[in-house]
């Protein structure tokens, strides 16, 4: 961590720093100097991502600090998973309005739980006084030339999504009392929202298999559009192949379930494309990792266009601004 | 940059991102995917530093945005200089209360001016809505094993400081109308405060010469204490060797000039130790780089103790909490 901020008592911030200072396993020099020192392994390219979480924009002031600590790191681990990269080092800059030691202790506990789960060293950062703000930068490694970008999707390839997108959005709607879920489903959906499980092992295993990939943070349709834009292709979504059944079983109204599946963010599932020849390998991979992989459509040459093929044969174009409007309009229920 | 924030219109943040998207020279994949991709050169260790600047704590809301853009990057370049590392890639997370395009454009201009001056690629980041907050992470390179930490100072070595510490603090005091400076000095001191020039070339040139180093961000005495603590040594400061003359020539009261020299932060000069045998080499280096290097004292075995040797033979101990009190008390004038 760098030096204390002007206007803050040194001892207060020393106290905070103690909560974030722990032994590291693969960092050559961690917290306590002007910079941390780390070394990339031979043949490795570095993948770097930064996310800033702001109180009132990304989370509420009364969010459980332990969950928040987990999520602050988890969303960055997910960004690296989406590149096929292994997370290695994290750097946390945080602004705190006041020193609430219980809050800080719980936040650090959540952060380190996630760090332990994914093999990340907290190698440095900065602590200062200000409106609550969490900025985390993560550095990971990926074998040179093997990173999976958003730009590699080709016409005729399959479109896949991992796990169960939509649960986090249902959880948020339930928290806001916009809908009600049955008890077990509510628990699961809140866990998806508050303790997202980034698909780190899956992302790394998809090197050499996925041609384009990202993590679903803004909603399946919106994020699919990012792949289409960078790859200059279009996509067909096969409605009956979408993993809707589990969301319908939550007790949510069918319209809301479908809306959350297509447009809900915050699940941090992986959306990727792969050649049809990889289907058997992907099936085995999902089974080995215990992650459902859903083949939900395919890539077309119609740049930027998303077509939805409904079970009844209806074909809905979600081209251009259409998908955005579709993704963002209130769900019928 | 990663995806837009909840609650923010996508187009607004796309607009912001355009101001921060520029071609890069040594980044394999920059803004626009889940993570940036960069590659360390063979034999290089990575030095990583993060600083968070908060409106109201580190700068005022009416700070010139172009200066702020420069300084946001410059303070991080300085952290790497203090390790002997070459700055390479920056990642900016910023929270903005509203989209003020003129402000953003000026901030980006200052940031990129600094990036150009020091060979840094802006390789990624995040933009979100929230109270004004700037978190910058910088990654640099240093040949493996050659980084200069705070821990290498040895008894009998010389203590050096670069340039003119104290000008930024005098500039701040002048801005606050706590003292007045003559016109030319005021201009210089405000420039030191608003457009600090990190000692990047000097820091890198000191590899193999300096045994311990840091940048003076909190004040010479307070930062010296960090070297002493990490190196388990003490120091004698030779008062007549301190570069006070130029500060006295500003028109500031002598007490304030001395206080700003010893305790003022924000100049980002380098404070380092070196063996006496390096004096001639350091003299030549300073001349070559056009940077004054002042030999201001030496390292002792009295761990944690700072002794000030005055011109009149008086010896003042600034041990333990003493230096801190000394450093922070209001200056007599």
- The rounded mean pLDDT for chain B is 89
pLDDT attached to residue A13:
66
Q: Is A217 annotated as a binding residue?
A: yes
- SS3 labels along chain B: CCCCCCCCCHHHHHHHHHHHCCCCCCCCECCCCCCEEECCCCCEEEEEEEEEEEECCCECCCCCHHHHHHHHHHHHHHHHHCCCCEEEEEEEEEEECCCCHHHHHHHHHHHHHHHHHHCCEEEEEEEEECCCEEEEEEEEEEECCCCCCCCCCCCCCEEEEECCCCHHHHHHHHHCCCCCCCHHHHHHHHHHHHCCCCCHHHHHHCCCCEEEEEECCCCHHHHHHHHHHHHCCEEEEEHHHCCCHHHHCCCCCHHHHHHHHHHCCCCCCEEEEECHHHHHHHHHHHHHHCCCEEEEEEEECCCCCEEEECCCCCEEECCCHHHHHHHHCCCCC
CA B279 to CA B298: how far, in whole Å?
12
- Put simply, whether A56 touches B (Cβ < 8 Å) is yes
Q: Does residue A20 sit at the B interface (CB-CB below 8 Å)?
A: no
| Average pLDDT of the residues in B153-160 | 98
**ipTM of the complex model:** 0.88
Shortest distance between the Cα of A206 and any Cα of chain B, in A, equals: 15
Q: What is the pLDDT of residue B13?
A: 66
Specify the pLDDT at position B92.
Answer: 95
More confident residue, B116 or A2: B116
Give contacts of A93 with chain B, Cβ < 8 Å: 50-52, 93, 135, 137
In angstroms, the Cα distances linking A12 to A17, A101, A104, A123, B176 are: 9, 10, 12, 21, 27
Chain A within 8 Å of B21 (Cβ-Cβ)? no
Residue B136: CB atoms within 10 Å = 28
Contact between chains at A82 and B45 (C-beta distance less than 8 A): no
User: pLDDT tens digits for chain A (333 residues)?
Assistant: 343 344 444 566 677 778 888 888 898 888 888 899 999 999 999 999 999 999 888 888 889 999 999 999 999 999 999 999 999 999 999 999 888 889 999 999 999 999 999 999 999 988 888 999 999 999 999 999 999 999 999 999 999 999 999 999 999 999 999 999 999 999 999 999 999 999 999 999 999 999 999 999 889 999 999 999 999 999 999 999 999 999 999 999 999 999 999 998 888 999 999 999 999 999 999 999 999 999 999 999 999 899 999 989 899 888 533 344 333 433 333
Q: pLDDT band at residue B49, thresholds of 50, 70 and 90?
A: very high
Tokens 């940059």 — which residue? B1
- Please give the pLDDT value at position A16: 74
Return phi, psi of residue A224, to 5°: -60, -40
Domains of chain B plus CATH, in order, are 10-143 (3.30.1330.10), 158-324 (3.90.650.10)
Residue B128 to chain A, least CA–CA distance (Å): 7
Chain segment B298-318, per-residue pLDDT in tens = 999 999 899 999 989 899 888
Please judge whether B130 and A133 are an interchain contact, meaning their C-beta atoms are less than 8 angstroms apart. Answer: yes
Q: Which residue has the tokens 């010139």?
A: B64
Give the C-alpha separation, B214 to A259, whole Å.
54
DSSP states of A242-273:
SS-HHHHTTT--HHHHHHHHHH------EEEE
Indicate if the pLDDT at residue B262 is higher than 70. yes
| CA angle centred on A187, ends A181 and A191, rounded to 5° | 125
Q: Check CB contact of A214 with chain B, cutoff 8 Å.
A: yes
Q: Considering only CB atoms, which chain B residues are within 8 Å of A5? A: 54, 57-58
Cα B4 to chain centroid, rounded: 31
- Residues making up the annotated binding site of B for ATP are 125-126, 150, 217
């Amino acid at each position: 961590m760098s030096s204390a901020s002007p206007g803050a008592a040194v001892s207060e911030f020393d106290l905070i720093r103690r909560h974030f200072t722990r032994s590291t396993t693969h960092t050559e020099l961690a917290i306590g100097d002007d910079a941390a020192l780390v070394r990339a392994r031979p043949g490795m390219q570095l993948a770097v991502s930064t996310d800033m979480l702001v109180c009132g924009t990304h989370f509420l002031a009364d969010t459980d600090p332990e969950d928040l600590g987990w999520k602050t790191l988890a969303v960055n681990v997910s960004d690296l998973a989406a590149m096929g990269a292994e997370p290695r080092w994290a750097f946390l800059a945080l602004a705190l309005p006041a020193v609430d030691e219980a809050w800080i202790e719980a936040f650090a506990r959540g952060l380190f739980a996630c760090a332990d789960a994914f093999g990340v060293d907290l190698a440095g950062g900065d602590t200062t006084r200000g409106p609550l703000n969490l900025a985390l930068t993560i550095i990971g490694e990926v074998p040179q030339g093997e990173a999976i970008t958003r730009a590699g999707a080709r016409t005729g390839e399959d479109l896949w999504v991992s796990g169960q997108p939509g649960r986090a959005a249902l959880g948020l709607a339930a928290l806001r009392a916009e809908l009600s879920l049955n008890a077990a489903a509510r628990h699961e959906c809140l866990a998806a929202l508050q303790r997202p499980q980034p698909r780190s092992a899956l992302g790394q295993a998809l090197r050499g298999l996925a041609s384009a990939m990202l993590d679903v943070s803004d909603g399946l349709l919106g994020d699919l559009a990012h792949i289409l834009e960078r790859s200059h292709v279009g996509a067909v979504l096969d409605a009956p192949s979408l993993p809707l059944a589990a969301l319908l079983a939550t007790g949510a109204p069918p319209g809301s379930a479908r809306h959350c599946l297509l447009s809900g963010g915050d699940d941090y599932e992986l959306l990727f494309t792969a050649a049809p020849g990889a289907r058997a390998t992907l099936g085995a991979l999902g089974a080995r990792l215990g992650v459902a992989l859903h083949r939900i459509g395919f890539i077309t040459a119609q740049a930027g266009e998303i077509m939805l093929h409904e079970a009844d044969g209806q074909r809905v174009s979600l081209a251009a601004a259409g998908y955005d409007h579709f993704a963002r309009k209130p769900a019928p229920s």
